[in-house]
Amino acid sequence: MPPTVEPLTNVDAAWLGMEDPTNLMMVSGVMTFDRPINLDHLKAILTHRFLKFERFRQRVIQPKLRVAPPYWETDPHFNLDAHLHRIALPDPGDQAALQTLASDLMSTPLDFSKPLWQIHIIDNYGDGGAIMVRLHHSIADGIALMSVLLALTDFSSEAPWPQADSTESEEPKDDGAEFGGMLGAMIKQASSTVKAARKMTGKVVQEGLEAIIAPAKALDLAIQGTDNALAFSRLVLRSPDSKTIFKGELGVAKRAAWSRPIPLKEIKAIKNVTGGTVNDVLVAALTGSLRRYLQERGQPVDGLTFRAFVPVDIRGPEERMTLGNKFSLVFLQLPLDKADPLERLEAVRDRMDTLKKSPEVPVAFTILKGIGMSPEELHDVLVKMFGSKASAVLTNVPGPPIPLYLAGGKIKDIMFWVPQSGRVSLGLSIISYAGKVQLGVASDAGLVPDPEKIIEGFYTEHEAYLALVRQAEEAEAEVKTETKTETEDAGQCQGITKSGRRCRNRALANSAFCRVHQP
């Protein structure tokens, strides 16, 4: 049978074309587990759920003719084992060791002679294990890959191993390049599982990180009319970001770090006191952390222009379970000049609200498509132009609100990083999972060699916002105490006993005293 051939979409080709030795276009993720990984179990899951998608068995072919577009081709020599690598962390096998390994892998390109993904099974991590997954951004974006995770996992450690059925052959077939095929594996477990997954996904979007979602119909807008023409002008003519320690020539080596899990209920408590959304609170705390990092290194922040690329999901309801890249990019100016936490949060909230209504969303998506279609020389010019206007990539992906299991092991934590598009040096990732939130930082080792310092600053800012919650709780408790005292005083006798104590009798009607002390 001849190999399946499929051209890359313009947007997928844009992410492929941004590949550079100093800025690899990989989405990287780490999952930690409560037990060592069962490799045979994992391979069974990948075979019957993951490889149901043709894309994960396809490699990218770059035609020799430079003007011809790249295309996907089924790898005639595909071998699952070639994409799986089992390694062990050196002692003491802690988070620092795992972060060092993640940094090394994030600095290592994928093998373009094979399908563009790899999985490292990691032993000797604490009492359990870990998995690091790397996939090229041309395959899918973060939202799509979160759906992949949902399709691979189970809701119990006792879930049966996936097995071939009458609809599967020795060579797994694609189910139409949509996640319906992946979720079919979950349907076999129980119809209630699918209902729970759908309910879970809706709850995440509603109550989780509240990621910015633009209506799919916005894509129907071309760069025409006053609003879109102005939006296009603002994007192209926007001045470059201020020169900071985050700007400079990139190197090959990258650094990865991530935070400890923070209870989502704490973020919601802050949101309830300060207003805004969960996402506003997290971005405001992260902004404060970046402010601290710059100040500690002697960088002035007054009047600083510091923008972040923010991905905006533009999938319609019918596209929620599809691979590929279906998102645009908008610029969020982070208020690093705001020292007061509340003022900073208010600024973030206002700017987020403005972005949600911005016509820049469809315009930026059109520019991305144009990058994918452009000749190599123009492609580099567009990428540099686009990237000069931002200093970081800031993403958040809402994950499942309940614990999940993979290959029989409970997933303790999930962290991911997206590539720094536009040749920027800093990637900031926020993810929620099982009632917790974590922050990840990926950086160029030459410009930001200590991303863990940004994580530490995030803890400090989070504590500052929690202090506001405690103040509000103390003020509320004080009001309740005063109200209770006033209520009790209104019904208690005001007389003094012979021993000099307050009388405990109830006062008579229309009087402040009882019968004993009635004047």
The answer to whether the beta carbons of residues 326 and 293 sit under 8 Å apart is no
Structure tokens at 209: 């990180």
Place of tokens 């990237």: 387
pLDDT of residue 265: 94
Instruction: Report the C-alpha gap between 305 and 240 in whole angstroms.
Output: 9
Helix/strand/coil for 164:
coil
pLDDT of residue 251: 93
pLDDT in tens, 305-322: 898 988 766 555 555 556
The per-residue DSSP string of 370-387 comes to: HHHHS-HHHHHHHHHHHH
Q: Residue range 290-316: average pLDDT?
A: 85
In the chain, the amino acid numbered 499 is S
Q: Report pTM.
A: 0.78
In a domain, 44, yes or no: yes
In a domain, 501, yes or no: no
Structure tokens at 449: 């060699």
In a domain, 515, yes or no: no
Q: Using 50, 70 and 90 to split pLDDT, how confident is the model at 197? A: very low
In a domain, 490, yes or no: no
pLDDT in tens, 448-476: 999 999 999 999 999 999 999 998 887 76
In a domain, 487, yes or no: no
Structure tokens at 35: 């037990």
Domain carrying residue 351: 5-471
Q: Using 50, 70 and 90 to split pLDDT, how confident is the model at 15? A: confident
Percentage above 90 pLDDT, the chain: 44
Look at residue 204 and tell me whether its pLDDT is greater than 70: no
In a domain, 434, yes or no: yes
pLDDT of residue 78: 96
pLDDT in tens, 211-254: 333 333 333 333 344 444 444 455 555 677 889 999 988 999 99
pLDDT of residue 491: 76
Among candidate residues 389, 295, 372, the one with its CA nearest the CA of residue 337: 295
The answer to whether the beta carbons of residues 157 and 408 sit under 8 Å apart is yes
Q: Residue range 341-355: average pLDDT?
A: 91
Structure tokens at 317: 């309801």
CATH of the domain at 266: 3.30.559.30
Among candidate residues 161, 106, 95, 156, the one with its CA nearest the CA of residue 133: 106
| Parallel/antiparallel/unpaired status of strands 58-61 and 426-433 | unpaired
Structure tokens at 251: 């190197």
Q: Using 50, 70 and 90 to split pLDDT, how confident is the model at 140? A: confident
In angstroms, the Cα distances linking 476 to 267, 277, 463, 510 are 19, 22, 20, 31
Instruction: Report the C-alpha gap between 391 and 195 in whole angstroms.
Output: 41
pLDDT of residue 195: 44
Number of domain units in the chain? 1
- Chain-wide mean pLDDT for the chain? 78
In a domain, 511, yes or no: no
Q: Using 50, 70 and 90 to split pLDDT, how confident is the model at 179? A: very low
